Amino acid sequence: YPWDKSSLKSMPVDLQQFEKLDAYALKVNVKNSVEELVKALLKQARTDLEKVRAIWMWICHHIEYDIVGYHNKSQLSSKPIDVLQTGKSICEGYAGLFEQMCSIAGIQCMKLSGYSKGYGYKMGQTFTGDSDHAWNAVYLDGRWHLLDSTWGSGVVDDSFTKFTFRYNEFYFLTHPALFINNHFPDNSNWQLLKPTLTLKDFENNMLHNSNFYMLGLLTAHPETAVIHTVNGKASVSVDCRSATLFTFKLKGTDEHGLMTLKKHGMKLDIYPQKTGSHKLQIFAKPSKASEEVYNCVLEYVVECKSVDKAMRFPKDLHQPVGPSWFTERQGFLRPSHPDPIIHTNDGRCSVTFTLGKDISVLASLHSDNSSLTEDMRRRHIMQIHRGNQIELKIHLPHAGNFVLKIYAKKKSDPGNYDYIFNYLITCLNTEVKWPAFPQSYSKWAEDYEILEPLSGLLPANRNVQFKLKMHGIAKVLVQAENTYPLTQSRGYWEGTCNTSGCREVFVMVHENANHSFYSHVLKYEVETQ
């Protein structure tokens, strides 16, 4: 039966109700006979489900995987009594001991064998010859359920030299639609699925390890392990229950992709910059997790036939790209540009947000082939505040791909700004060459606004019109070769100034009519003749 996504188990199980039983089962220490062990375990178990649980818990925490035995099977006994007394075995012994303990407890149990995508599995491989793994089915509440105590007990390292006990709840009564992902029984009836999968389906299907489901992820597209690029691009998406953070690695780096977080998942577009086969790994962690640890949840192979050179991203681009539920949580609401890429033809764009309370913003512009200093690049962005709205006006210094990075901090915090997110801005028009905005000084208040001139570079020997929105000041002067006062009307200070005979133009304000002290608020350069 198909998976309805509501539970990872094949029957309702309340793990909290097992807490006492689990703790009891872990403490039972009987090694002389399987019968005695079962008798001791059942003291605290009433229902069939509780009996199975007690047996499962005991095996998962007391039998270790026998790596030496695996390499030297002729010396190995998988008889339940030998497994119990040595405390180690391979899957065959785990499943055999489980079967015998259930039988003593009066529960129907089968030992199953088949192919598995476990240790040593290579993506896209085919399965031939004898089965390589064993597990169990138990009969509870009128139907069969699947479990794998070998995989429930722990993990072996990559070099297959060391076993570590690491209990995994996932393999206890796993939903058959999820169990089939890495267990293919010799007898297809034991898939407990309708319709059953063919071996070919099993080989081609994406391997979701238990992390995938335990993190609340639901589905991934594509469902096959090998992805072929189309015009240099491959796409992957993941759906999940709740807010989850993702990262990825293509051949070990996250440079050649564009990942966006969605409310219920993520979308990733990959643009490999070399042809051939590339390993793509996707990692996830719950948004609430305090640890920095991301778990690998998916692996693909990307087969790239051709490279899309136009999609070479700047080094400074940070994943994920664009706004999301995450940036909303940081106080950036209602973005004017919900997509990660902003295309501009004339080299100008403007991004607006509604800001949460008490947030101060810093933005910077980055590009791989820019000769400008960081300070100069920052002057190609102008912040305009209107109430709780912020607008970032951007005038690009040249064509190309740019990263707009956005940082924030609480106004009340004395500390540094934290990086929040970034956009990719692309401009193909090679005619584009915007000068920087004028330089502003500390007396230029957050909610002041320049209507004109926006360019920080003024033409020489010209009359230039000024229009500035400022409040709470007594006088405004523009100082060039001569000094020109601006006049106030309807909240704006306006006037003209002549740029002849000077290299710089300053805007100065008089905060109080009784003082003769002026503060510089803006500085413009004048073009040389």
Confidence of residue 262 (pLDDT cuts 50, 70, 90): very high
For the CA atoms of 36, 41, 45, 46, the dihedral, rounded to the nearest 10 degrees, stands at: -10
Q: Mean pLDDT throughout 343-353?
A: 97
pLDDT in tens, 450-495: 999 999 999 999 999 999 999 888 899 999 999 999 999 988 999 9
> Which uninterrupted H or E stretch holds 138?
strand 133-140
Q: Is residue 5 predicted with pLDDT exceeding 80?
A: no
Q: Which band of pLDDT confidence, cut at 50, 70 and 90, is reported for residue 61?
A: very high
265-270 β-sheet, strand order: 217-221, 234-240, 265-270, 257-262
Quickly state the pLDDT bin for 375 (edges 50, 70, 90): confident
| Mean pLDDT (the chain, rounded) | 93
The reply to whether 398 belongs to the active site is no
Helices (H), 171-316: 176-179, 199-204, 210-214
Question: Which residues, 6+ apart, have CB-to-CB distance to 162 below 8 Å?
Answer: 67, 156
pLDDT category, 447, cuts 50, 70, 90? confident
Query: pLDDT at residue 294 above 70?
Result: yes
Mean pLDDT for 293-322 is: 92
Taking the C-alpha atoms of residue 79 and residue 133, their distance in angstroms, rounded to an integer, is 16
438 contacts: CB under 8 Å, gap ≥ 6: 450, 453, 455, 456, 522, 523, 524
Q: What is the pLDDT of residue 94?
A: 97
Q: 120 or 439: which carries more pLDDT confidence?
A: 439
Q: What is the pLDDT of residues 205-217, one digit of tens each?
A: 888 888 899 898 9
Mean pLDDT of 118-144: 93
Banded model confidence at residue 381, pLDDT cuts 50, 70, 90 = very high
Query: Half-sphere exposure of residue 346, counting CA atoms within 13 Å on the CB side?
Result: 3
Closest among 178, 257, 135 to 5, alpha carbons compared = 178
- Res. 80: pLDDT tops 80: yes
Cα distance between residue 209 and residue 299, in whole Å: 10
What's residue 127's pLDDT? 96
Instruction: Give pLDDT, residue 167.
Output: 96
Q: Which one from 60, 91, 349, 497 is the annotated catalytic residue?
A: 91
> Residue 55 above 90 pLDDT?
yes
Q: Which of 22, 66, 148, 269 is catalytic?
A: 148
* Pairing status of strand 457-458 against strand 257-262: unpaired
133 counts as catalytic: yes
Rg (CA), the chain: 33
Read off the pTM: 0.82
Asked if the model's pLDDT at residue 1 lies above 90, the reply is no
Total residues found in the chain within this entry: 529
The predicted-structure confidence for 220-257, as pLDDT tens digits, reads as follows 999 888 899 999 999 999 999 888 999 999 988 888 99
Tokens of 264: 């219920």
254 is catalytic: no
Which residue bears the tokens 């000769």? 371
Distance (Å, whole) CA 40 – CA 55: 10
Q: Note the pLDDT of residue 2.
A: 67
What tens digit of pLDDT does each residue of 134-170 get?
999 999 999 999 999 999 999 998 888 899 999 999 9
**pLDDT at residue 198 in the model:** 96
Instruction: Name the catalytic one among 133, 256, 366, 380.
Output: 133
